[in-house]
């Protein structure tokens, strides 16, 4: 596999994502022998920098983001020798000619353009690339979110990129799909017969998907204030996780088999009326509080936030799927900034036993549950009831745990390492197809509209908590509770 | 609960079971405060011993079998003060009068006769007890196996004991039912909803129940040579374990609800024709070999074994249940002496995924399985497929483990501690009912008869192995393998 040569052009090459994630991921894969010595990584941005200047910049901005245990100076030197820089200006067609000159025409060489720029530039960049003769039928393009801010703008981006690149050359990244634990959920569901009979309304009581961050909007206030948690997190990551949980078993893991199955989930999501938005969603905004014992300002005090902004930093939603497998099973989605813990997880709560014959007085909880943890550490827990030692038949809950890190010795890949190598090798399975993206926007839009039309501001919550009380009430009305409250 | 006073009379009080298991169990429960200070433990046997002599005998024969961590001299002194001795001779009615004199008549005091003697004495003892006025309607009797050597002799014992004691006062011990892990199997099945949809022919491929011993017939050769593994182990322990695995969920854990459900399993066991005995059973006899690196003699060289004996020391059986839940699912039973390891376990092998879409080339095994370990240590493993870290979607098998000892902090009871306290408290659930015992004999008898009628001797196997090759072949014909060969 090492033999796959490529030219990878990184637009936004001096940006934050390139420095924090993309270049460290490429270095790491290089170090572990996955990148052919004849491959080129070409960073590009508006500045005029020599290769040497860019490499110096990398040492300053990129190296600190490489895991210490993976860094090796000799390895870095070999890596940076394969990295060059070309200045391109999206408003200047000519600058793309010199980029064209750098690209190597070889039949087996993959050509990838990674657009780690503001989406406003996607159309221009794609147009210039085509005009400069950079795009062959096999050329791939990678798009980073946000891919629009509603259905219309998302369609506009897809139309523009789609005018130059065929759909099966477009890699839309949702980096949650690159996480080992999310792929493990796929492996769990489709590598094990035993979960299938459990995986439906007959045995699943509710599903909870949480992505909680402790960071606030700091550092990207202006962007965040025009976006909010619904667009930033729910429309992308949380719906993708929901798809992986709820999808039907695909016939293969080929890209379209998997994406067809995910699309069916998105299309089965019940659309909310305005009234339902009021009863099934909660939006919140944090006020000053403390995270990990450190005082933090409220959202409205953060730099870049418009005074009186109603942008939500927290969302909780009770979603439902209109299909045979899942009818009536609540899917609770929840995400927020400045939460009590950094934690991402999927909880599958199974029903209680239909008829209890054992003494459960020693048990805090009586239903089975499967917890797939994505953050801060990957892991899997299956909670079961076991007999307490001693007389009688009292049961208590115990966890069967799998810490992926301990259990599976091989080195684990960062999400971007995985996804970049998938792009280079032409594996589309973990990337979103246009119709998925648009189905996700279609479901989210009625919520956006209802919130925009509503008189009331978001519910406030104290930074460092699990969000507004309305979030507990949303799930509490069903006589259920979020994991940490259960 | 401590308040339950009792008089417990231990026939066979100077015997092996009393010294190794029963008296240590009673001491331990005494030490942990479960035995009321006004309770009496009265050992009885043919010898004439004073209380003092018997207590001295206990210090010599019983104390070495108490777990070191549980032994405490002060506690022992308190315990032995509650133990007395009465000589009784089953052939001498008068000797029972002095026993009667020791029994205390109190309405709330439980009276228990534990018959840890040869079954040939059961009838006499029960008759004498009744004649001496020792038996009230509430008096309980505990019977140790072997309860007969075929259906007829078992019925004779049950008739004789049943003439004196009502069925719900008769506690037939199968000490495997006293094991924590067997009770945990009950808790697992009926305390967790998630196993129910898996627990049938739809998802279970095969069940394997193994009780392997490393000891030989040494020390009890004469008894063993007239008994064999089929009577000694299959008819009792293995069929009881099979019942716990295969039973329908009972309406409660009341004795008759559970025992009705177990009985239905025994009655659903398909009876073998003589031809089926030849194809579905394997009997073996060990020859000289080595266990744990130590040379050991063959069965025929052991003391007390008749020359040319055809008694089986190993049995493997492919059983099947004729009911809707289990039709077509093989239940492989296996037990033997002088095996490679001391190991008792139940393995539930689930089917493979119906359609494989993941790369299983990294996986030694692809089906899920649940292993309930009874010996040498209690534990539970659920084997699942998880994704191997790195690129692609290769899966490998990993185990979710529960070591009961680590996980559940409370002190665990030895099987006899559990069962003795159940007798004292009048809990019949873990004891066999007469109809169960007789159903078990009915199923075993055609096998006994076919073997007796057969020309061929048992297959030999080398001591320290997993039995004769025919055992592997029995399961191999179904394209399956025993756990350690899989």
Let me know if A456 is exposed, middle or buried by CB neighbors in 10 A (0-12, 13-18, 19+): exposed
pLDDT at A404: 64
Q: Cβ separation of A350 and B418 shorter than 8 Å?
A: no
A2 and B CB contact within 8 Å: no
Q: Give the residue from B403, B408, B348 showing the smallest Cα distance to B379.
A: B403
What value does the mean pLDDT of chain A take?
93
Number of cross-chain residue pairs from A and B with Cβ atoms under 8 Å apart:
186
Whether the predicted pLDDT of B384 surpasses 70? yes
Return all residues near B368 (Cβ < 8 A) that are at least 6 apart: A192, A193, A194, B349, B350, B382, B383, B384, B385
Q: Cβ separation of B413 and A391 shorter than 8 Å?
A: yes
Q: Is the ipTM of this complex over 0.85?
A: yes
> What six digits make up the tokens of A330?
């609540």
pLDDT at A1: 46
pLDDT at A281: 98
> What's the CA gap between B423 and B142, in Å, rounded?
8
pLDDT at A214: 97
Whether the predicted pLDDT of B406 surpasses 80? no
Q: List, in sequence order, the alpha helices (H) in B88-238.
A: 95-102, 122-131, 151-164, 180-191, 221-225, 228-229
CB < 8 Å to A190, chain B: 353, 357-358
Q: Give the residue from B155, B302, B145 showing the smallest Cα distance to B231.
A: B145
Better pLDDT: A53 or A218? A53
pLDDT band at B404 (very low <50, low <70, confident <90, very high): low
A428 and B CB contact within 8 Å: no
pLDDT at B139: 97
Q: Cβ separation of A193 and B368 shorter than 8 Å?
A: yes
CB < 8 Å to A425, chain B: 391
Q: Which residues pair with B400 in a beta bridge?
A: B382
0.95 exceeded by pTM: no
Whether the predicted pLDDT of B408 surpasses 60? no
CB < 8 Å to A371, chain B: none
Lowest-pLDDT range of A312-321, B314-323, B329-338, B413-422:
B413-422
CB < 8 Å to A187, chain B: 358, 385-387, 393, 395
> What six digits make up the tokens of B150?
């075929």
CB < 8 Å to A402, chain B: 384, 386, 398, 400
CB < 8 Å to B191, chain A: 353, 358, 360, 366, 384-387, 395
Lowest-pLDDT range of A122-136, B90-104, B266-280, B470-484:
B90-104
Report the pLDDT averaged over residues B349-376.
Answer: 89
3-state secondary structure labels for all residues of A45-109: ECCCCCHHHHHHHHHHHCHHHCCHHHCCHHHHHHHHCCEEEEECECCECCHHHHHHHHCCCCCCC
Let me know if B412 is exposed, middle or buried by CB neighbors in 10 A (0-12, 13-18, 19+): middle
B410 and A CB contact within 8 Å: yes
pLDDT at B1: 46
> What six digits make up the tokens of A465?
């908590």
3-state secondary structure labels for all residues of B36-90: CCCCEEEEEECCCCCHHHHHHHHHHHCHHHCCHHHCCHHHHHHHHHCEEEEECEC
> What's the CA gap between B30 and A69, in Å, rounded?
57
Please say whether the beta carbons of B299 and B217 come within 8 A. yes
Q: Cβ separation of A197 and B202 shorter than 8 Å?
A: yes
Whether the predicted pLDDT of B232 surpasses 60? yes
Kindly give the pairing relationship between strand B140-143 and strand B170-172.
Answer: parallel
Whether the predicted pLDDT of A437 surpasses 60? yes
Q: Cβ separation of A251 and B355 shorter than 8 Å?
A: yes
Please say whether the beta carbons of B102 and B42 come within 8 A. yes
Return all residues near B81 (Cβ < 8 A) that are at least 6 apart: none
Report the pLDDT averaged over residues A350-368.
Answer: 87
Kindly give the pairing relationship between strand A343-350 and strand A204-212.
Answer: antiparallel
Lowest-pLDDT range of A461-470, B87-96, B282-291, B445-454:
B87-96
A379-387, strands of its sheet edge to edge: A395-402, A379-387, A369-375, A343-350, A204-212, A331-336, A314-319, A281-287, A459-462
Which helix (H) or strand (E) covers residue B475, if one does? Answer: helix B469-476
pLDDT at B392: 80
Taken in order A433, A438, A443, A449, is the CA torsion positive or negative?
Answer: positive
Please say whether the beta carbons of A138 and A110 come within 8 A. yes
Please say whether the beta carbons of A401 and A388 come within 8 A. no
pLDDT at A410: 64
Whether the predicted pLDDT of B44 surpasses 80? yes
Active site residues of B: 237
- Count how many Cα atoms sit within 13 Å of the Cα of residue A344 in the half-sphere of its side chain: 19
Active site residues of A: 237
Whether the predicted pLDDT of A239 surpasses 80? yes
Q: How far B224 CA lies from chain A's nearest CA (Å)?
A: 33
Q: Percentage of chain A surpassing pLDDT 90?
A: 83
Q: Percentage of chain B surpassing pLDDT 90?
A: 83
Whether the predicted pLDDT of A14 surpasses 60? yes
Beta-strand (E) ranges in B257-368? 281-287, 289-291, 294-296, 314-319, 331-336, 343-350
Let me know if B220 is exposed, middle or buried by CB neighbors in 10 A (0-12, 13-18, 19+): middle
pLDDT at A2: 54
A191 and B CB contact within 8 Å: yes
A385 and B CB contact within 8 Å: yes
A 389-408: CB under 8 A from B: 389-391, 393, 395-396, 398, 400-402, 404, 407-408
Q: Cβ separation of B183 and A393 shorter than 8 Å?
A: yes
Please say whether the beta carbons of A140 and A126 come within 8 A. no
Task: Estimate to the nearest angstrom the gap between the alpha carbon of A174 and the chain centroid.
Answer: 4
> What's the CA gap between B186 and B120, in Å, rounded?
34
> What's the CA gap between B361 and B395, in Å, rounded?
8
pLDDT band at A6 (very low <50, low <70, confident <90, very high): very high
């Amino acid at each position: 596999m090492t033999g796959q040569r490529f030219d990878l052009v990184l637009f936004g090459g001096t940006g934050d994502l390139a420095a924090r994630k993309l270049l460290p991921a490429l270095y790491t894969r290089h170090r572990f022998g996955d990148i052919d010595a004849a491959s080129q990584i070409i960073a590009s941005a508006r500045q005029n920098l020599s290769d040497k200047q860019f490499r110096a910049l990398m040492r300053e901005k990129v190296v600190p983001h490489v895991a210490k245990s993976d860094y090796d100076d000799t390895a870095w030197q070999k890596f940076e020798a394969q990295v060059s820089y070309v200045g391109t200006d999206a408003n200047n067609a000519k600058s793309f000619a010199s980029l064209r000159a750098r690209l190597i025409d070889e039949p087996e060489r993959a050509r990838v353009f990674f657009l780690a720029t503001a989406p406003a530039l996607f159309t221009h960049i794609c147009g210039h690339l085509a005009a400069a003769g950079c795009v062959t039928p096999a050329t791939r393009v990678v798009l980073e979110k946000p891919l629009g801010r509603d259905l219309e703008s998302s369609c506009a981006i897809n139309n523009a990129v789609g005018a130059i690149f065929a759909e099966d050359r477009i890699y839309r990244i949702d980096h949650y799909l690159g996480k080992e634990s999310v792929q493990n959920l796929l492996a769990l569901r489709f590598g094990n017969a035993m979960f299938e009979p459990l995986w439906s309304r007959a045995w699943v009581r509710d599903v909870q998907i949480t992505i909680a961050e402790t960071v606030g909007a700091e550092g990207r206030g202006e962007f965040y204030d025009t976006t909010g948690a619904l667009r930033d997190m729910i429309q992308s990551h949380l719906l993708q996780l929901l798809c992986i949980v709820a999808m039907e078993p695909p016939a293969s893991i080929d890209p379209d088999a998997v994406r067809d199955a995910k699309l069916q989930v998105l299309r089965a999501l019940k659309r909310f009326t305005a009234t339902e938005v009021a009863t099934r969603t909660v939006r919140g905004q944090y006020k000053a509080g403390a995270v990990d014992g450190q005082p933090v300002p409220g959202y409205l005090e953060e730099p870049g936030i418009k005074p009186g902004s109603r942008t939500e930093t927290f969302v909780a939603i009770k979603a439902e799927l209109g299909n045979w497998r899942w009818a009536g099973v609540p899917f609770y989605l929840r995400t927020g900034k400045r939460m009590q813990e950094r934690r991402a997880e999927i909880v599958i709560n199974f029903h209680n036993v239909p008829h209890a014959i054992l003494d459960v007085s020693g048990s805090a909880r009586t239903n089975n549950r499967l917890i797939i943890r994505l953050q801060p550490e990957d892991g899997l827990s299956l909670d079961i009831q076991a007999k307490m030692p001693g007389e009688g038949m009292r049961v208590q809950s115990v966890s069967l745990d799998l810490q992926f890190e301990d259990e599976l010795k091989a080195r684990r890949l960062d999400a971007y390492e995985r996804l970049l190598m998938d792009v280079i090798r032409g594996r589309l399975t973990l990337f979103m197809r246009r119709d998925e993206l648009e189905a996700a926007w279609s479901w989210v839009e009625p919520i956006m509209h209802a919130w925009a039309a509503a008189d009331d501001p978001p519910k406030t919550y104290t930074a460092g908590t699990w969000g507004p009380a309305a979030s507990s009430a949303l799930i509490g009305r069903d006589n259920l509770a979020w994991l940490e409250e259960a």
